Amino acid sequence: MSGKRKIERVQTGVRIEKRLLKVMKGLAEYLEMSLGDVIEGIVLHSFDGKAPFSGRTIKKIQELKKVYDLDLNWNDSHSLIEK
């Protein structure tokens, strides 16, 4: 589907792991997108079973993970607990 689609956005408050957020913000800056646009893109791709990022972008994510000491991965997604 091509063309612009009009949508309604809402403000939300979500709690997210601190280092993960730093990587996501760094990625948004790298892609010259808002954090909300990055999150929407990840979710929309995931809902359709598609990979959201190119190889080049994944490489940048790996770099950002090192910068922010993010050692979590998909295996950790259902086993995170707060301090």
Tokens 């689609």 found at: 5
Banded model confidence at residue 3, pLDDT cuts 50, 70, 90:
confident
Three-class DSSP labels, 4-22: CCCCCCCCCCCCCCHHHHH
**Global confidence as pTM:** 0.89
Q: Give me the pLDDT at residue 62, please.
A: 98
Number of domains observed in the structure of the chain: 1
Where in the sequence is the domain holding 51, given as residue range(s)? Answer: 18-68
The answer to whether residue 78 sits within a structural domain is no
In a domain, 49, yes or no: yes
Give the pLDDT band of residue 1 (cuts 50, 70, 90): low
Q: Is 50 inside any structural domain?
A: yes
Spatial distance between the Cα atoms of 34 and 55, rounded to a whole number of angstroms: 21
**Helical packing angle, 18-31 and 35-47, nearest 10°:** 100
Query: Taking the mean position of all CA atoms in its chain, how far away is CA 62?
Result: 12
Residue 35 — pLDDT band, cuts 50, 70, 90? very high
